[in-house]
Chains A and B, each alone.
Chain A
């Protein structure tokens, strides 16, 4: 395998230019990188959301692989059907190729409204990969909070105000939820660590059964940072351990990148307008809470890795 950028760059980009994503869009990078790793013999299902909308405005499509979108909450269910059809037709000799099946969804269509379909698909053992691009809110409809929105973030439905400092709840740990489905492979990745991410995509696709990857993909519009900083913001999320890069293969946790220079999460929060209110008045304690949670989660992950479970 081995991800070699020079070699990859000779491949055709399967997510074409001309899509209407914002300048500096993290999820667009996530989709591009996934398809470069997966190759031409890939069929994709997509949940309603930013990437779906910007890439398929009739009659324009950015997709150079077969693509299906039906609804918001059913990317995993739609792909379950595609996968069943693929198996049925392959058995009958009507389909001869080996095809990678990838279901995509944003955090909206995956953590929340799409969780049921995803859970069902993983439990049934379909041979498919689900990739969730996590930009931590319902971005396409205007930056509303999701189950992936971090504690303290200001969104349009969890705005920071005089009385409440942004989202009061903590995010769901979807990677662990997926690992608890006892699937052969679940992983967390990030667009700034493209080698780690694309390796994970290729690894997942080489494994038989249901696989899951959630890829951190910053949104410059919804997180309020300078658009050229998308990769930097992604990188700092990893370096602060807010977003550990790890995989759970056959139930065993393994950290795939241990940041050498760890930064305080506050440095990451500082660059994003969605956390700006935490730097005022009494809200500073929220930053401490966030740091505590990040540390505790990292410690737990390290313990799981050390224990070989």
Chain B
């Protein structure tokens, strides 16, 4: 184990170096550019065996990675925001072909207007692609999750993206514990692939045309893979935790044991929220926080279990979703809770769009709102935290 000071960009690049993929096809975009730059230097210095393909757009990055994965290579790339959006149609293909791959993703908002700062609109936009989605709270998680995602992806035969908040994590220096190179290699093991395009003795056709008589069955099969992915993820998390003493789970329950008021949150703001929860607990408040680490596959059982005794719940969305009623995380939480015996009174907050800073005071405001509801006051079902009216 080695202690290092790394931004999430640097940490993810280090994880990539240690994984030493066969192919990386990548295109720069702020604020993930550094990952690609650092990795290019690794290639130039002979620190990795990777064939680096400096593609001319993110669409080609995802396409080249898909081709390489089909050809039996271990592949990774890095992107953010518009780049991820440009990859969108390819991501459906990668998942449909059941190809393992990891994207080191920096969660930056989508235009228009253009903004290079953090929110989850880019990753939320990809939630239907069939990719597994992980959200890191800090540089340590970014590093650990990238390594674990590689293994998970090759076990589940589904591609994965690991997101770290733009600038807040990607560019902030944090203390992380790094594994040794050989520990990473030993953990991820030999590359696994569902099929091999380069086997000319057994020629296969990848990416056929389905008519109405087969498409549904193929998609049903893919859906099952996503359903089963939770088990694969837990197994790999357990394995990692056993070897390296850092425990991951689909969700993290923070002081939830007897919590009556709670928030659900993803990404770096979870760290801020933990501090607020600590302070409120010190004042005797029974509050807690659920952090979602794995957004896809959606951890419905774990969420219902964690929230079953909560009376008042605030769901924090760092993306609007533009549905006209409720942002993505809010909608999915409520959908899960609908089947529960006891349904917490659930409120949605959209916060931090376009890198809007979120302070402990803001999070405390949310808990204060829940307290007001507890005391009989009416609260808007959906509101915005920190926007100027």
Query: A85 contacts which of B49, B56, B90, B198 (Cβ < 8 Å)?
Result: B198
Q: Are A66 and B73 in contact (CB under 8 A)?
A: no
Q: In the complex, how many angstroms separate the beta carbon of A64 from the nearest chain B beta carbon?
A: 6
Determine if A259 is an interface residue (Cβ-Cβ < 8 Å): no
Decide if A78 touches B198 in the complex (CB within 8 Å): no
Contact A65 B200 (CB under 8 A): yes
A84 with B51: CB separation less than 8 A: yes
| Bound Cα distance A66, B205 (Å) | 6
- Measured in the bound complex, the distance between the Cα atoms of B204 and A63 in whole Å is 8
Q: Is the pair A57, B209 in contact by a Cβ cutoff of 8 Å?
A: yes
Is B373's beta carbon under 8 Å from chain A? no
Question: Is there an interface contact between B211 and A58, defined as CB atoms closer than 8 Å?
Answer: yes
Q: Is the CB of B25 within 8 A of A53?
A: no
Does residue A22 face the partner (Cβ distance < 8 Å to B)? Answer: no
A88: interface (CB < 8 Å): yes
Q: CB distance B67 to A88 under 8 Å?
A: no
**Which residues on the B side are within 8 Å of A276 (C-beta)?**
none
Partner of B63, one of A56, A78, A119: A78
Q: Are A67 and B56 in contact (CB under 8 A)?
A: no
Query: In the complex, how many angstroms separate the beta carbon of B148 from the nearest chain A beta carbon?
Result: 23
Roughly how many angstroms separate A130 CA and B72 CA in the complex, as a whole number?
A: 21
Q: A43-B198, A58-B208, A91-B49 are in contact. Are A65 and B203 (CB under 8 A)?
A: yes
Q: How far is the CA of A120 from the CA of B54 in the complex (A)?
A: 9
Q: How far is the CA of A85 from the CA of B76 in the complex (A)?
A: 12
**Are the CB atoms of A81 and B200 closer together than 8 Å?**
no
A261 in the interface, Cβ–Cβ < 8 Å?
no
Say whether, besides A81-B25, A99-B200, A68 and B207 are in contact (CB < 8 Å). yes
Q: Inside 8 A of A207's CB, which chain B residues have their CB?
A: none
Per the bound structure, the CA–CA distance linking A42 and B54 in Å amounts to: 25
Q: Contacts A65-B203, A82-B197 known; A58 to B209 CB distance under 8 Å?
A: yes
Q: A56-B209, A81-B71, A120-B57 are in contact. Are A88 and B22 (CB under 8 A)?
A: yes
The answer to whether A78 touches B67 (Cβ under 8 A) is yes
- In the complex, B334 has a CB within 8 A of chain A: no
Chain B interfacial residues counted at CB < 8 A: 44
Q: Which applies to chain A's interface (DSSP): helix, strand, loop or mixed?
A: mixed
Question: Contacting chain B: which of A69-77, A143-151, A198-206?
Answer: A69-77
* C-alpha spacing A84/B204, complex, angstroms: 19
B4 within 8 A of partner (CB): no
Q: Quick check: is B70 within 8 A (CB to CB) of the other chain?
A: yes
* A69→B208 contact, CB < 8 A: yes
Contact A80 B200 (CB under 8 A): no
Interface residues on A, range: 35 or more
Q: How far is the CB of A94 from chain B (nearest CB, A)?
A: 7
Contact of A67 among B53, B54, B199, B206 (CB under 8 A): B206
Q: By the criterion CB–CB under 8 Å, are B205 and A84 in contact?
A: no
Q: Given the complex of chains A and B, what is the CA–CA distance between A186 and B176 in angstroms?
A: 51
| Interface assignment of A52: CB less than 8 Å from any CB of chain B | yes
Would you give the shortest CB distance from A214 to chain B, in whole angstroms?
A: 21
Q: B70–A68 contact, CB under 8 A?
A: yes
Q: What distance in Å separates the Cβ of A183 from its nearest Cβ neighbour in chain B?
A: 15
Complex Cα gap A116–B206 (Å): 23
Among A192-248, those with CB < 8 Å from B are none
**Given known contacts A88-B23, A88-B51, A91-B49, A120 and B73 CB-to-CB distance under 8 angstroms:** no
Quick check: A85 and B66 within 8 Å, CB to CB?
no
A-B contact pairs, 30 of them (CB 8 A): A45-B67, A57-B208, A58-B209, A63-B203, A64-B203, A66-B199, A67-B204, A69-B206, A70-B207, A71-B89, A77-B55, A78-B64, A80-B25, A80-B60, A82-B197, A82-B198, A84-B23, A84-B51, A85-B23, A85-B67, A85-B73, A87-B51, A88-B50, A88-B51, A89-B72, A95-B72, A95-B198, A120-B56, A123-B56, A124-B55
Closest 6 CB pairs of A and B: A81-B67, A81-B64, A120-B56, A85-B73, A81-B68, A85-B71
A sample of 7 more A-B contacts (CB under 8 A), given A57-B208, A70-B207, A71-B93, is A45-B67, A64-B203, A66-B200, A68-B197, A71-B89, A95-B198, A120-B57
